[in-house]
Structure 1
Amino acid sequence: MGPPRPDLPLLPESRVCLRNLARHRPQQHAQRFPRARSAAVLVALFVGRTGHLHVLLSRRADTLKSFPGDTALPGGKYEEGDKSAEDTARREAFEEIGLPIDRRRTPLLCTLQPFLSRNDLIVIPVVVLITDPNVKPMLNEPEVAALFSHPLHSFLSSTAPFPMQEGDRAYHTFEDVMMSERPVRMHRFLTGREHDGIKPVFGFTAGILLHTAMVGYGTKPDFEVDAPGQRTMPERIEYALENNQVLKEAVEKERAERHRRRERRIGSRL
Structure 2
Amino acid sequence: MTLPLLPDGKPATNGPEANTHDVLAHIPPSALEGLSEESINCLRNLASFETPPLVDLGLVKQAAVLVALFQKDGDDKLHVLLTTRAKTMRRHPSQTALPGGKVDPEDPDVTYTARREAFEEVGLPLDHPSIHPLTILEQVMTILPLNSHMKNHIVVTPVVCFISDTSLLKDLVPNPDEVDAIFTHPLKGCLTGTLDEKDSLGLVDVGGEWWPHEEEYHSTNDRVGTTGEYRMHRFRTTNSPIKGLTSDVLIQTAMIAYGTPTTYTRFALNQSPFSTLISGVVRDLPFYMDKSTNSGPVEWGGTEGERYKSSETWAAGQ
Fold conserved between structures, TM > 0.5:
yes
Deviations 1:212-251 (A, max 9, x none): 00011100111001111210110111111122458868xx
Partner in structure 2 of residue 148 of structure 1: 183
1:130 aligns with 2:163: yes
Give the CA deviation at 1:134.
Answer: 3.4
1:81 aligns with 2:106: yes
Alignment check: 8 A CA contact 2:60 2:155 kept: no
Go from structure 1 to structure 2 and tell me whether the alpha carbon gap of 1:246 and 1:47 turns closer, same or farther (over 3 Å shift).
Answer: farther
More helix by share: 1
Give the CA deviation at 1:26.
Answer: 2.4
Q: Counterpart of 2:249 in 1: which secondary structure?
A: helix
Give the CA deviation at 1:141.
Answer: 1.2
Alignment check: 8 A CA contact 1:44 1:56 kept: yes
Once the two structures are overlaid, the 10-residue window that deviates more, 8-17 or 207-216, is 8-17
Alignment check: 8 A CA contact 2:82 2:97 kept: yes
The aligned amino acid for 1:147 is: I
CA distance in 2, matches of 1:25, 1:69: 34
Partner in structure 2 of residue 42 of structure 1: 66
Partner in structure 1 of residue 37 of structure 2: 12
1:211 aligns with 2:246: no
Alignment check: 8 A CA contact 1:53 1:152 kept: yes
Go from structure 1 to structure 2 and tell me whether the alpha carbon gap of 1:132 and 1:159 turns closer, same or farther (over 3 Å shift).
Answer: closer
Partner in structure 2 of residue 169 of structure 1: 214
Quote the sequence identity (%): 37
Q: How does the TM-score come out when normalised to structure 1?
A: 0.83
CA distance in 2, matches of 1:174, 1:48: 28
1:189 aligns with 2:231: no
**Where does structure 1 differ by over 3 angstroms across 4 or more consecutive aligned residues?**
3-8, 163-168, 244-249
Partner in structure 2 of residue 200 of structure 1: 241
1:230 aligns with 2:263: no
- Structure 2 gap segments, 5+ residues each: 1-23, 144-151, 208-212, 291-318
Aligned length: 243
Go from structure 1 to structure 2 and tell me whether the alpha carbon gap of 1:104 and 1:181 turns closer, same or farther (over 3 Å shift).
Answer: closer
CA distance in 1, matches of 2:140, 2:288: 14
Go from structure 1 to structure 2 and tell me whether the alpha carbon gap of 1:113 and 1:4 turns closer, same or farther (over 3 Å shift).
Answer: farther
CA distance in 1, matches of 2:228, 2:242: 23
